[in-house]
Amino acid sequence: MLWTMILVVLSAVLLVISYPQTDWGPLAWLALVPFFFALDGKNARSAFSLGYACGFLFFAGTLGWFVYVTYPGAFLFIAYLSLYFAAFAVAFVFFRRLGLLARLFTLSAVWVALEFIRGHALSGFGWASLGHSQYKNYLLIQIADVTGVYGVSFLVILVNLLIFESLKLVHDIRQMRRTQIIVTLLVCLVLGYGIVDTTHTRAYGQVKVGVVQPNIPQALKWDPRLKGRIVERSILLTRALGVQKPDIIIWPETSLPGILGESPELFEEIRKTARDMRIPVLIGTIVQEGEEKYYNSAVLVSADGAMAGRYDKVHLVPFGEYLPLRPLLGFVNRFIGLADFTPGREYTLFSAGREQRKFGALICFEDTVPYLRRGFTNAGAQFLVNITNDAWFADTKAPFLHLQAAVFGAVENKRALVRAANTGVSAFIDPFGRVIGAVQNERGKKTYVAGTAVAALPLVNRRTVYTKYGDVFAMFCFLGILGAIWTTRTASKR
């Protein structure tokens, strides 16, 4: 039992360091091999326990920064996410009667199916998907414009399973070699696709964007006495960008503290800045309509100082922006005092520059939600913007995990993506998922520093398979699992 737990812990550690901030992504290709050895020969009950333990250790090591918001909530959240590892472990035992190649592909499909469910259930949380660990391997991740991140996850888990089965040395040598050749060819095909995709996709133009990172600590951000100083800091940073003449300047989420209209003099200062510079500025703020409707919004101030458009956040964060199942969970409000925000309904597009380049503004975690990234792209966005505030989670790996997920949003839709974050990471991602610039200090630190950055983003005019059809690959994985279940049950009756 001790040796089994050592293997489980080893896999969890290897997985954790495959993600930011260590970023040892190549380790992910073999990180789960010890876990598979721990599961080998176990029954479903033991497998569930071992899977749960591995999942808990992994998510605690990767998402432990949730404690900065709530300790009990962080524990419950990690406990919930760990169930997905436990479910995979049970599937590992259930499908062991399948042939070698069928088992490898079926279990890889199970992993994808569980990631898909995790990304949609209970409002969805797709962070730290296995494929995200490969966000710096830009040739490999181009397949995401067909499969989404799930195709990359499929490939990584498939290689882990192949290494495990190869090390067991219990298979017919011919069968093993055939399987190894098939998996190797599949990896080569994906890399080949990446080479062709990045070589033959051409930009038709560019847009020059500036971002402002004011670095306001969360403890100070909502102090009404500091509103003026907070806005003044962003204005000073904005004016420093004027010499570079970007087509548009992006401020972070709720960069105008409080409710729009409560402090008209502050909004007037922003309008004056845009007029003086002749550059539009996108800001984040809260908008109130009537007595009960509050929106987390992005507002565009045009180059002549007019309010040129507004997007209201569509995908709200449970327990952060609304209380789910309020009739049942109303008692929770006694402790957190949460007033629900109202979700937006439209994929509002803004325009930037002389060419009037269209873009969509994703707020907070929306840049990690695939259907929203697709929605804006299908609505006509030529590039994407994310305004966010990760100061809630202190100077941890959270901002880097957020960036990691955003990289796939760019690749899936072949749209450049700009991030303006209050405390970082504010960055520019090209349509192939390469981070081509970021706000950073002289030591290269990207979080909890104030600053600005400008980059010319290439624009690609292409609707990808993923943009058009969404998670078809994940649906095929579900169908493959159903086929494997039927095969397994049929075989057990013989």
Peptide bond into 93 cis (omega under 30): no
269 catalytic? Reply is no
The rounded distance, in Å, linking the Cα atoms of 221 and 229 is 10
Instruction: Quote the distance between the C-alpha of residue 383 and its chain's center.
Output: 17
227 catalytic? Reply is no
The rounded distance, in Å, linking the Cα atoms of 129 and 331 is 33
The rounded distance, in Å, linking the Cα atoms of 340 and 256 is 20
Task: Pick the catalytic residue from 253, 321, 366, 412.
Answer: 253
Q: Which amino acid type is present at position 485?
A: I
445 catalytic? Reply is no
Instruction: Check residue 478 and report its DSSP letter.
Output: H
Give me the half-sphere count of Cα atoms (radius 13 Å) on the Cβ side of residue 448. 10
Q: Which residues lie below 8 Å from residue 416, measured CB to CB, with a gap of 6+? A: 207, 383, 384, 410, 428, 429, 430, 431, 457, 458, 459, 460
Task: Pick the catalytic residue from 221, 227, 313, 397.
Answer: 313
What is the three-class DSSP state of 106?
helix
For the record, the structure tokens of 13 come out as 């550690």
The count of residues in the chain is 494
Residue 180 has phi, psi (to 5 degrees) of: -60, -40
Q: Which residues lie below 8 Å from residue 182, measured CB to CB, with a gap of 6+? A: 101
Return the H-helix or E-strand segment holding 289: strand 281-289
Q: Check if the beta carbon of residue 198 is closer than 8 Å to that of residue 460.
A: no
Q: Which residues lie below 8 Å from residue 321, measured CB to CB, with a gap of 6+? A: 296, 313, 340, 341
Q: Which residue has the tokens 């966000």?
A: 135
Q: Which residues lie below 8 Å from residue 63, measured CB to CB, with a gap of 6+? A: 74, 77, 78, 81, 127, 128, 401
Catalytic (active-site) positions = 253, 313, 364
